[in-house]
Homo-oligomer: A and B are copies of this chain.
Amino acid sequence: MCGDMAKVREIKRIAIVGAGAVGGYYGARLAQAGMDVHFLLRSDYAHVKDYGMVVESVAGDFELSEVGCAQTSEEIGPVDLVVIAWKTTSNRHYDRVIAPLLHEHSQILTLQNGLGNVEALARIFGSERIFGGLCFVCINRTGPGRMVHSASGLVRVGEYRPDGSGRLAYLVSLLKSGGIDCQGVENLEKAQWMKLVWNIPFNGLAISEGGVDTQVLLDTPGVEARIRRIMKEVQAVAWALGHRIADAFIEKQIDVTRPMGAYRPSSMIDYVEGREVEVDAIWREPVRRAHQLGVEVPEVMVLLTEIESRLDERGN
């Protein structure tokens, strides 16, 4: 039995782990579509339990008056799909938090930033059940159970270990039927590096420049050239991995950022609000992989040093 449809497991019960902006928004979409969604909540639990969730979205506002939520994984119990949307800085809790949500055929989809998440999940829970999703979306959590979705929404989903069955197509169609703009990708790693082409310079410079938005970055003399140099290095690492990212893709990243206006990358918001920044996932791990491949990334390393200095100053 290999590459057969027997591996396509029906997904009914869904758990959303980490209900910040991303988890809250996508989970609420699935719940609104009538799916059996269970949010694992901490600080927002009491509020969401009593008042539900509110989504203000460019794709249509909606409210959920009743939301399935719990304070522990044990209360939720085994589900068919675990969606992980917490900050990568909490990944050390994977084992304890995820294990109670699993049955033998549970699948796990991480929507987290950067590199290393699918590998960490595969290490603990087995590689055959892991999916990664890259979110191209502007969402902010403006209060407990309250999300503002201001642009895009695409999720590009891939299998950590493609198995040739129809399970990826099934997952994509499930998310689509839940009102999520979704696309299956053949090569998850390539999709991750394509996203890093934007995240590494923009999230990073927004911090190293002192906590500024993308418009300020593009308007600051010299920064656009620096963005391009950083993107070129990320592109080179991707090429070394066999992922051919075109030069035109780099230009497109800058072109699409201009009309976004004063956009605040998530890492910059974490920085200015004094929360942990996902330095490992977005900068350190890519640098590590570059060095494993023998690819020099001096611009990214300078940026990483600047980010670390900013965080040291802040006392984090």
- How far, in angstroms, from A2 to B162 measured CA to CA in the complex? 12
Query: Who on chain B is nearest to A95 by CB?
Result: B99
Select A127's contact among B78, B104, B123, B124, beta carbons within 8 Å: B104
Whether B95 pairs with A123 at a CB distance below 8 angstroms is no
A102–B124 contact, CB under 8 A? yes
Distance (Å) between the CB of A55 and the closest chain B CB?
33
Residues of A within 8 A of B (CB-CB), count: 21
Considering the complex, give the chain B residue whose CB is closest to the CB of A106.
B123
Known: A2-B3, A3-B2, A128-B128. A123 touches B102 (CB 8 A): yes
CB pair B128 A104 closer than 8 Å? no
B96 engages A119 (CB within 8 Å)? no
With known contacts A3-B2, A95-B99, A96-B95, A125–B125 Cβ distance under 8 A:
yes
Partner of A128, one of B1, B94, B103, B126: B126
- A295 at the A/B interface (Cβ < 8 Å)? no
Interface residues of A in 113-165 (CB under 8 A from B): 119, 122-129
A104 near B122 with CB under 8 A, answer yes
List which A81-120 residues lie within 8 A (CB) of chain B.
Answer: 94-96, 99, 102-104, 106, 119
A124 CA / B126 CA spacing, docked (Å) = 8
Query: Could you name 28 residue pairs across A and B whose Cβ atoms are closer than 8 Å?
Result: A1-B2, A2-B2, A2-B3, A78-B123, A94-B99, A95-B95, A95-B96, A95-B99, A96-B96, A99-B124, A102-B123, A102-B124, A103-B123, A104-B119, A104-B122, A104-B123, A104-B127, A106-B123, A124-B124, A124-B125, A125-B125, A125-B126, A126-B126, A126-B127, A126-B128, A126-B129, A127-B128, A128-B128
Interface on A for B, CB 8 Å cutoff?
1-3, 78, 94-96, 99, 102-104, 106, 119, 122-129
Q: Lowest 3 A-B CB distances belong to which pairs? A: A126-B126, A2-B2, A95-B99
